[in-house]
């Protein structure tokens, strides 16, 4: 298992850089991961991240469709906040494993 340093904290990650231990996550680390991904987090970003972490912790599947139904943002805004691969980027920043729906 690999480790990577974010904001002065060593975290366990897989070969793609996703956390293997979501308990190691905090907002300071999220900001450092986001910076590495070329993003600066806003309150809207944090709302999505908290939504993803809550769904993950309850064992629910993560998908772009669930983001759209969250009431936080619609799909268009989700893509604007996390450009490129929004679900992959947002879960990486949220400190949770990459969803199985992402290739």
3-class secondary structure for 51-83?
HHHHHHHCCCCCCHHHHHHCCCCCHHHHHHHCC
Residue 101 lies in a domain: no
CA distances from 66 to 62, 71, 98, 101 (A): 7, 9, 15, 12
The band of 102, judged by pLDDT with boundaries at 50, 70 and 90, is: low
**Active site (catalytic) residues:** 102
Which domain, by its residues, includes 23?
2-93
CA distance 103 to 99: 9
Residue 99 lies in a domain: no
Give the number of domains in the chain: 1
Residue 50 lies in a domain: yes
Residue 58 lies in a domain: yes
**pLDDT at residue 101, as a whole number:** 67
Render pLDDT for 6-19 as a digit per residue (tens, 0 to 9). 999 999 999 999 99
Residue 6 lies in a domain: yes
Residue 100 lies in a domain: no
Render pLDDT for 32-79 as a digit per residue (tens, 0 to 9). 999 999 999 999 999 999 999 999 999 988 888 999 899 999 999 999
Q: For 42, phi and psi rounded to 5 degrees? A: -110, 180
């Amino acid at each position: 298992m690999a480790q990577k340093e974010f904001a002065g904290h060593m975290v366990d990650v897989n070969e793609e850089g996703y956390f293997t231990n979501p308990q190691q996550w905090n907002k300071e680390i999220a900001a450092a991961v986001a910076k590495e991904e070329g993003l600066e987090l806003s309150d809207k970003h944090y709302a999505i991240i908290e939504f993803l972490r809550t769904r993950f912790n309850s064992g629910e599947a993560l998908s772009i469709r669930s983001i759209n139904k969250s009431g936080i943002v619609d799909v268009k805004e989700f893509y604007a906040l996390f450009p490129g691969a929004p679900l992959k980027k947002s879960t990486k920043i949220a400190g949770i494993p990459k969803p199985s729906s992402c290739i």
